Structure 1
Amino acid sequence: MMTSAKREAAPANGRRLILFGAFDRHNFGDLLLARCAAAGARTDIVFTGLAARDLRKFGGFHTLALADAIAAFGSEDADFVHVGGELLTTTAWEAAVMLQSPSDTARIVALHDRSPDARTAWARSVLGTTRRIPYIVAQDDLPTRWRTHFRAVGGVAFDTLPGAERNEILRALRTATTLSVRDRTTFDALRHAGVDTDLLPDPAAATPALFGATIGQRGQGGEIAALRSRMRSWAAVQLAAEWGDDATLDRVAGSLLATSAASGTGIVLYRAGLAPWHDDLDTLRRLADRLGAQRPVAILESAHVLDIFALLAEACAYVGTSLHGWIVAHAFKVPARCLVRGPADKAARYTDTWCDVPRQWRTPEDGPLFPETISG
């Protein structure tokens, strides 16, 4: 076992900063983590992922595929930083599907989902790597002048992975220069496996300090300003597509209407991710239909990171399945609840680790969905 935790340290001057993560697809949390990692850093930053993408129109970055980054900068001194999120347990199959267009997802799943071998072969062909956990890269698999870092990563399902996947992850972590995780479950699992690590909050918890002025400016125009002219206050609500069954939507709508009427607030629905297996506009429209005309209701069409920031920062409450929605709202002192399917969910494990009042999440069976402190 390591004798001491690998303490977080800023990359040394003179070394290129290479940020690596799942910001090669649209998800609020991953794009936010990239912005947090880049905030205050020097200008020679390279954003890398499993695929080349340009998400600047959503407040993200122009991202290079890892192989291209190695070809371009492999001869330089560099710090290679794994940027947050649930990177430790995202499998190759999951990563490859989430890099596809939403319109292709159903066809791809239908072709490969019943055969583990077919899934593996297809994912390897898409990603160009045989790594089972592709967003984790060991020091030995990178240029010799690069140093690896893991910054507040998550992996609450680590103990449920097959042995080959766990061994691949442990090999990468044991060669890292610095290592920190964001929740107690991951921390305990790694310690049990013989890896010493720091326990740090998700970087998004620093959103007000990092981006407060930018968020305030963004909220003066566009959809946020239009919402402010329509509603005295609002509850920000987000649901992943997997929560789009009729029974769940009926229950959420009933709780929304009751809370909104009692507190005098409007309701604004938004999407936290456009990538496959994230959010779906049709789910929000079906929820809005259930709300009817009884309360002021709107759907935020924008999926730009700064518009989501501003929506959450100005909300009187947040309820949703997005962990980073909860983290940002909580950071702005907005009463917040994270909806989960059970206590093993990553959001439940994270909020139980860091929240002063435990159980800032709710399952569909837990009763009222909304924080008791909502007020307009």
Structure 2
Amino acid sequence: MTDRTSVIVYGAYDRHNYGDLLFAIILKRYLEANERFRVQVAATKKSNLSRYGALPTVPLKKALEATRSQPKTLLIVAGGECLTAQWESIIGYLAPQALYYPIKASPYLLGQKLFIRLSRALTSIPSDLPLVPGERDFPGLQVMYNSVGGNEISRKNPLINAAIARNLRDCSYISVRDMETSAELDRLGIKHNLVPDSAILISDMYPQGSVASEPGHIVFHISDHHAKRRIEAIAQQLTELSMTTGLKIALLTIGKAPGHSDDDPLDKLQSLLGERAYRVDSGHIEDIIRCIATSKLYCGTSLHGAITALAYAVPQIALLPKRVVKLSSFLETWVPKQSCGFAEVAEISLTATALIASFGDAQKAELQTVIEAMKNRVRNNLEHMIALHQQTASGDVTQAQKANDAVLAAQ
């Protein structure tokens, strides 16, 4: 059909970070089902990461130009830890690896205000925050946030904190994915809904089957940032875990973008673990999903590694929970205690062994019930955003506001 309404799905889909790449796929498939909408996948720049199973992107400026003739185009910020993302991170991800840290330091050298102005000019995105657009900055758009994250907003410097609050107050609907982010928005007095991360729907879109003859494996992931000065201790724990369980360790690459690359620490672990481990390093979305979905346990620092495990009813361990708050907060918000764990490095083997031993058929059945309830909540949230947009586009603003207030009151 040629008369479908275009929706802009906007986020950090122009660099290789597994979780971000999932959001565009999920929203595009969901919104285009039954030929309801046509989705434009937009990011800060044009990209094509299809070799990793991702969707190509157009610059946000191009998506805005393509939808200019539509009344009240809907722009959905489709997920991720976007509320606290700053320009130096986004620009750094898009630059060559060697420039990542110099760019990260630029706001301190140039001043935050000047760096923001330069970033806006470079990307043609008229917002002080790259992934927190407000409707005043984008005339003709209706902006909504889908199950986003933003821990520690209150710890940002006053300029950034004020920009977050200003832009979030200037949008039509907000849903967040964990209690920590919800508490931050409560402190700012911003209405929002608490909804699971939409990546939980991937098991509907990428069904997996295990082979009965396969013994399974344990998936381990750690980012380069969190691996520093911990590799030898982690290798010792994983060796003990493999010996205790008889399972091999799949060392899984989840991110390849600057600032998200996992290859180096996982390669070092492979050299230390030898035959007790093997690398899964293609970075392809379907390889990552398959590796996690067919495992006995996921242990790592990636939130979307854990959410993928959750989607396929695989138990999860949040590694370094005090440091990776978005991961530990999400599991604490949504996952039954008997289906997940939290471990510092010295606790990996003990925690993982106990969780594998205790996770039986009853626990899996309970987890599957929880997963279905989470999926329904995600679907209801997406349908609510669609209904709000349709009511607003038809001019029934009062009814749209009543519908929004009803959802918020039902939390």
Could you tell me whether the CA contact under 8 Å between 1:341 and 1:364 is conserved in 2? no
Aligned runs of 1:202-213 on 2, under 5 Å? 202-212=197-207
1:137 aligned onto 2:133: yes
Partner of 1:10: none
Q: 2:7 aligns with which of 8, 17, 30?
A: 17
Distance in 1 (CA, whole Å) between partners of 2:28 and 2:126 is 29
CA displacement at 1:107 relative to structure 2 = 5.5
Partner of 2:245: 263
Partner of 2:364: none
Distance in 2 (CA, whole Å) between partners of 1:61 and 1:235 is 29
Distance in 2 (CA, whole Å) between partners of 1:371 and 1:152 is 32
Partner of 1:36: 26
Distance in 2 (CA, whole Å) between partners of 1:46 and 1:24 is 13
Distance in 2 (CA, whole Å) between partners of 1:237 and 1:116 is 39
Counterpart residue type for residue 131 of structure 2: Y
Counterpart residue type for residue 234 of structure 1: H
Partner of 1:306: 286
Aligned runs of 1:172-183 on 2, under 5 Å? 172-183=167-178
Show structure 1 runs of 5+ residues with no match. Answer: 1-12, 221-227
1:290 aligned onto 2:286: no
Aligned runs of 1:142-221 on 2, under 5 Å? 142-144=138-140, 146-212=141-207, 215-216=208-209
CA displacement at 1:104 relative to structure 2 = 3.7
Distance in 1 (CA, whole Å) between partners of 2:249 and 2:335 is 25
CA displacement at 1:80 relative to structure 2 = 0.5
Normalising by structure 2, report the TM-score.
Answer: 0.77
Distance in 1 (CA, whole Å) between partners of 2:115 and 2:191 is 33
CA shift digits 1:194-235 (9 cap, x unpaired): 1111000111122222332xx45xx99xxxxxxx99x73211
Q: 1:96 aligns with which of 91, 95, 106?
A: 91
Partner of 1:9: none
Q: 2:69 aligns with which of 53, 75, 95?
A: 75
CA shift digits 1:44-93 (9 cap, x unpaired): 11000111111111111111111111122222142110011011000111
Could you tell me whether the CA contact under 8 Å between 2:12 and 2:20 is conserved in 1? yes
1:312 aligned counterpart, secondary structure = helix
CA displacement at 1:326 relative to structure 2 = 0.5
CA displacement at 1:345 relative to structure 2 = 1.7
CA displacement at 1:97 relative to structure 2 = 0.4
Q: 1:371 to 1:261 in 2, by over 3 A?
A: closer
Q: 1:131 to 1:33 in 2, by over 3 A?
A: same
CA displacement at 1:152 relative to structure 2 = 0.5
2:337 aligned counterpart, secondary structure = coil
Normalising by structure 1, report the TM-score.
Answer: 0.84
Distance in 2 (CA, whole Å) between partners of 1:30 and 1:278 is 11
Could you tell me whether the CA contact under 8 Å between 1:21 and 1:82 is conserved in 2? yes
Distance in 1 (CA, whole Å) between partners of 2:256 and 2:115 is 22
Distance in 2 (CA, whole Å) between partners of 1:273 and 1:345 is 18
Could you tell me whether the CA contact under 8 Å between 1:58 and 1:304 is conserved in 2? yes
Distance in 2 (CA, whole Å) between partners of 1:129 and 1:96 is 12
1:46 aligned counterpart, secondary structure = strand
Could you tell me whether the CA contact under 8 Å between 1:337 and 1:371 is conserved in 2? no
Distance in 2 (CA, whole Å) between partners of 1:40 and 1:129 is 26
Which stretch has the larger CA shift, 352-361 or 47-56? 352-361
Could you tell me whether the CA contact under 8 Å between 2:237 and 2:346 is conserved in 1? no
2:41 aligned counterpart, secondary structure = strand
Distance in 2 (CA, whole Å) between partners of 1:138 and 1:363 is 39
Q: 1:131 to 1:139 in 2, by over 3 A?
A: closer
Identity of aligned residues (%): 26
CA displacement at 1:126 relative to structure 2 = 4.1
Partner of 1:242: 225
Distance in 2 (CA, whole Å) between partners of 1:95 and 1:347 is 21
1:53 aligned counterpart, secondary structure = coil
CA shift digits 1:316-335 (9 cap, x unpaired): 11111100001110221212
Counterpart residue type for residue 148 of structure 2: V
Distance in 1 (CA, whole Å) between partners of 2:315 and 2:258 is 29
Runs of 4+ residues deviating >6 angstroms: none
Partner of 1:52: 46
CA shift digits 1:235-290 (9 cap, x unpaired): 11111011333x41111111111111111111111111111111232221111111
Distance in 1 (CA, whole Å) between partners of 2:51 and 2:324 is 34
Which of the pair is proportionally richer in helix? 2
Which stretch has the larger CA shift, 335-344 or 191-200? 335-344
1:250 aligned counterpart, secondary structure = helix
CA shift digits 1:266-315 (9 cap, x unpaired): 1111111111111232221111111123x2x2111311111101110001
Q: RMSD of the TM alignment (CA)?
A: 2.7
Could you tell me whether the CA contact under 8 Å between 2:328 and 2:342 is conserved in 1? yes
CA displacement at 1:39 relative to structure 2 = 2.3
Could you tell me whether the CA contact under 8 Å between 2:254 and 2:262 is conserved in 1? no
Could you tell me whether the CA contact under 8 Å between 2:77 and 2:145 is conserved in 1? yes
Q: 1:159 to 1:48 in 2, by over 3 A?
A: same
Distance in 2 (CA, whole Å) between partners of 1:373 and 1:120 is 46
Could you tell me whether the CA contact under 8 Å between 2:42 and 2:58 is conserved in 1? yes
Show structure 2 runs of 5+ residues with no match. Answer: 360-411
Q: 1:206 to 1:174 in 2, by over 3 A?
A: same
Which stretch has the larger CA shift, 51-60 or 339-348? 339-348
